[in-house]
């Protein structure tokens, strides 16, 4: 049944359903027949190579989720209790929770018009609220050391990496790119031309949750240009085995390895990613062609257009109207610095994020979405505003 038929029969139109029309079943069947279904097997290494080759990283380590990838990245970079980490408030909470897993403290930054971290305010924060002795950056308020920036490339957009990387270099900070929503996004022009999301900082992290541009049903990957970092990530993802035969563990590790069956799905998905990006861009333009206001993407990048953010005049009313018509939508995440478990942590001049929180409605955006479905959704939205 097409999405058009689904609308006619009042069936639900999903927000971002997975597209499993390639070699998924064949590869999974092969993985099962091989007997390797857990965290070892041919498809894990094949998927890791496919991911690293696609984005131009030295290597990749597949893991259970994007969250696991972020947690492993912080450990691999040596983050410890009482360190401070700059994070965005506009993101899914999973981008921030690993900061607390390692006992570090988040400092929340505002977004810019792309929904990504505001690099200008980041610079202002360093100038106004920190002291730097040429080696160590300290927070004046807490006297704790700031060691790292987590940049989230929101909805397939790209943070201002040129400025963020310059700031990180000057203040001797590490950078983790949370590219969980931005696989396939890269710079088309400028100093970083040709660089993919996730490959410019010290570490990049991807997610393959069911709603991402490619999926393994649940999974993630960590990429880097430094082998020693990836070696640490791989080591800690498999219970930190110093001797796998005698089960010697000198450090605390985690059961974060991706299974061979998941990787088989992922390999089939990465084979189709450019087609998925093409469809996502076409559908984004189709919404706009039919009169729907969507948040723009930076013209300097080729975005994967993961999510389509409509700037609504009456957000709550529009969401109810669409859901009543069996159109699945989502608001922007509740800002992380406003979450009960994070209200006690420092934030800096959060303004633009509040604006977007009140207005964004995310519309159906899956790579299986048809043109006729987009036309119908656009009609429902326009009828709502004309009512």
Looking up residue 102, the CATH number of its domain turns out to be: 3.40.640.10
Bridge-based pairing state of the strands 308-311 and 105-109: unpaired
Q: Determine the Cα–Cα distance for residues 1 and 59; give it in Å rounded to an integer.
A: 40
Tally of structural domains, the chain: 2
Q: Sign of dihedral through CA atoms 279, 280, 283, 288?
A: negative
Q: Is 323 helix (H, G, I), strand (E, B) or coil?
A: helix
Q: Are residues 241 and 300 in the same domain?
A: no
Mean pLDDT, to the nearest integer, of 354-366?
98
Kindly report the backbone phi and psi dihedral angles of residue 148, in degrees, each rounded to the nearest multiple of 5, phi listed first.
-155, 155
- Band of pLDDT at residue 53, cut at 50, 70 and 90: very high
Choose one of 240, 270, 300: the last residue of a domain: 270
Tally Cβ neighbours within 10 Å of residue 319. Answer: 19
Q: What is the pLDDT of residue 2?
A: 45
Task: Kindly state whether residues 181 and 308 are assigned to the same domain.
Answer: no
Angle at 265 (CA atoms; ends 260, 267), nearest 5 degrees: 90
131 vs 344: CA distance, rounded Å:
22
Q: What pLDDT score does 9 carry?
A: 45
Q: Are 213 and 184 in contact (CB under 8 A)?
A: yes
Q: Are residues 264 and 303 in the same domain?
A: no
319 in the same domain as 335 = yes
Same domain as 199, residue 296: no
Q: Look at residue 278 and tell me whether its pLDDT is greater than 70.
A: yes
pLDDT in tens, 107-129: 999 999 999 999 999 999 999 99
pLDDT, average across residues 33-55: 92
Q: What is the mean pLDDT of residues 203-230?
A: 97
Are 138 and 196 in a shared domain?
yes
Considering the domain architecture, whether residues 258 and 310 belong to the same structural domain is answered as no
Q: 123-164, pLDDT tens digit by residue?
A: 999 999 999 999 999 999 999 999 999 999 999 999 999 999
Q: What is the pLDDT of residue 188?
A: 98
Model confidence at 6: pLDDT above 70: no
Which of 226, 242, 270 is the endpoint of a domain?
A: 270
Neighbour-count burial of 288, counting CB atoms closer than 10 A to its CB (0-12 exposed, 13-18 middle, 19+ buried): middle
**Cα separation, 212 vs 20, whole angstroms:** 12
Q: Are residues 134 and 10 in the same domain?
A: no
Residue 12, pLDDT score: 87
**Banded model confidence at residue 10, pLDDT cuts 50, 70, 90:** low
In the chain, which residue ranges form alpha helices assigned H by DSSP? 3-8, 24-34, 42-55, 66-76, 97-101, 119-129, 161-170, 227-237, 260-270, 273-289, 315-324, 352-357, 371-386
Answer yes or no: do 315 and 167 share one domain. no
What whole-number distance in Å separates Cα of residue 344 and Cα of residue 177? 25
* 162 Cβ neighbours under 8 A, 6+ residues apart: 190, 191, 192
CATH number at residue 344: 3.90.1150.10
**What is the residue whose two structure tokens read 């633009």?**
352
At 300-349, the pLDDT tens digits run 999 999 999 999 989 999 999 999 999 999 999 999 999 999 999 999 99
Contact residues for 9 (Cβ-Cβ < 8 A; gap 6+): 1
Q: Tell me, what's the pLDDT at 107?
A: 98
Residue 342's domain comprises 3-16+273-386
Please tell me the predicted confidence (pLDDT) of residue 1: 38
Say yes or no: 293 and 378 in one domain: yes
Q: Across residues 219-227, what is the average pLDDT? A: 97
Which tens digits make up the pLDDT trace of 161-194?
999 999 999 999 999 999 999 999 999 999 999 9
Give the C-alpha separation, 51 to 60, whole Å. 7
On whether both 71 and 208 belong to a single domain, the answer is yes
Do 208 and 221 form a contact (C-beta atoms < 8 A)? yes
DSSP state of 131: E
191 shares its domain with 69: yes
The pLDDT of residue 40: 78
pLDDT tens-digit series, residues 235-277: 999 999 999 899 999 999 999 999 999 999 999 999 999 999 9
Contacts of 289 (CB under 8 A, 6+ apart): none
Q: CB atoms < 10 A from the CB of 21, how many?
A: 12
SS3 100: helix
CA distance 283 to 260: 33
Final residue in a domain of this structure, among 228, 249, 270: 270
pLDDT over 50 (residue 7): no
Quick check: 387 pLDDT over 80?
no
Q: Quick one: what percent of the chain has pLDDT higher than 70? A: 97
């Amino acid at each position: 049944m097409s999405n058009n038929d689904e609308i006619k029969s009042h069936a639900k139109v999903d927000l971002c359903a997975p597209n499993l029309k390639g070699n998924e079943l064949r590869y999974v069947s092969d993985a099962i027949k091989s007997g390797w279904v857990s965290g070892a097997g041919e498809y894990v290494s094949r998927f890791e190579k496919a991911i690293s080759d696609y984005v131009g990283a030295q290597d990749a380590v597949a893991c259970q989720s994007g969250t696991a990838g972020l947690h492993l990245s912080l450990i691999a970079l040596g983050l410890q209790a009482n360190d401070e980490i700059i994070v965005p408030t506009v993101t899914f909470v999973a981008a921030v929770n690993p900061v607390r897993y390692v006992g570090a403290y988040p400092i929340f930054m505002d977004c810019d018009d792309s929904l990504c971290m505001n690099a200008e305010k980041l610079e202002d924060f360093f100038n106004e609220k920190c002291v730097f002795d040429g080696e160590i950056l300290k927070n004046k308020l807490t006297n704790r050391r700031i060691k790292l920036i987590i940049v989230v490339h929101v909805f397939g957009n790209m943070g201002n990496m040129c400025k963020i990387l310059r700031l990180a270099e000057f203040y001797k900070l590490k950078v983790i790119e949370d590219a969980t929503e931005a696989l396939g996004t890269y710079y088309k022009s400028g100093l970083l031309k040709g660089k993919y999301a996730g490959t410019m900082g010290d570490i990049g992290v991807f997610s393959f949750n069911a709603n991402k541009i490619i999926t393994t049903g649940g999974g993630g990957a960590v990429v880097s240009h430094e082998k020693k970092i990836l070696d640490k990530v791989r080591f800690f993802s498999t219970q930190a085995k110093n001797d796998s035969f005698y089960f010697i563990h000198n450090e605390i590790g985690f059961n974060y390895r991706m299974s061979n069956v998941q990787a088989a799905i992922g390999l089939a998905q990465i084979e189709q990613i450019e087609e998925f990006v093409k469809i996502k861009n076409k559908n984004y333009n189709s919404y706009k062609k039919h009169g729907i206001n969507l948040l723009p993407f930076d013209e300097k990048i080729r975005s994967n257009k993961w999510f389509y953010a409509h700037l609504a005049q009456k957000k709550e009313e529009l969401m109810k109207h669409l859901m009543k018509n069996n159109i699945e939508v989502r608001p922007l995440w509740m800002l992380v610095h406003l979450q009960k478990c994070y209200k006690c942590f420092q934030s800096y001049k959060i303004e633009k994020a509040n604006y977007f929180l009140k207005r964004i409605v995310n519309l159906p955006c899956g790579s299986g979405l048809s043109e006729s479905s987009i036309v119908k959704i656009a009609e429902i939205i326009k009828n709502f505003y004309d009512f």
